[in-house]
Amino acid sequence: MSFECIGWGVQQNTGDSTSKLILLMLCNYADENYSCYPSMEHIAKICHCSRRCVMTHINKLQKSGFIKKEKIKNGVKNHNKYFMNFKRENISPNTNISKKENNSLLKPKNILEKKRKNRNFLAG
């Protein structure tokens, strides 16, 4: 599993929630070369959708340029190998985010923390 690839997949705007889910599942299975070869039946089982739905969204992702699909013939069995269009330059520390914003993105927010009352507000 490549955490860089999953991080890349989260940042992508696929335009469709099912496409994003399938892209994230492909990223989850990606190796150090950002490639994977899970079966469509396996992806359909994990994503709780049909095999046809997986085929449709993989084709959308391929047309949009998020992934490349290559058919591998291995004797009698054939399978697809998927390559993520991940580039290391996409996730770099030299982005336009300031250090203050970058640090706030890394720190988890405590949602259970009480909100402070605005003491500058005077109720009429």
pLDDT recorded at residue 38? 93
Q: What would the pLDDT profile of 65-88 be if each residue is shown by its tens digit?
A: 999 999 988 888 888 899 999 775
pLDDT recorded at residue 109? 59
Give the residue extent of every domain in the chain: 3-106
Give the chain's length.
124
* Topology of domain 3-106, CATH: Arc Repressor Mutant, subunit A (1.10.10)
In a 10 Å sphere around its CB, with 0-12 CB exposed, 13-18 middle and 19+ buried, how is residue 84 labelled? buried
Q: What would the pLDDT profile of 90-117 be if each residue is shown by its tens digit?
A: 444 444 444 444 555 555 556 566 666 6
CB-based contacts of 49, cutoff 8 Å, min separation 6:
18
Q: What SS3 class is residue 77?
A: strand
Q: What would the pLDDT profile of 5-56 be if each residue is shown by its tens digit?
A: 899 999 999 999 999 999 999 999 999 889 999 999 999 999 999 999 999 9
Whole-model pTM: value is 0.67
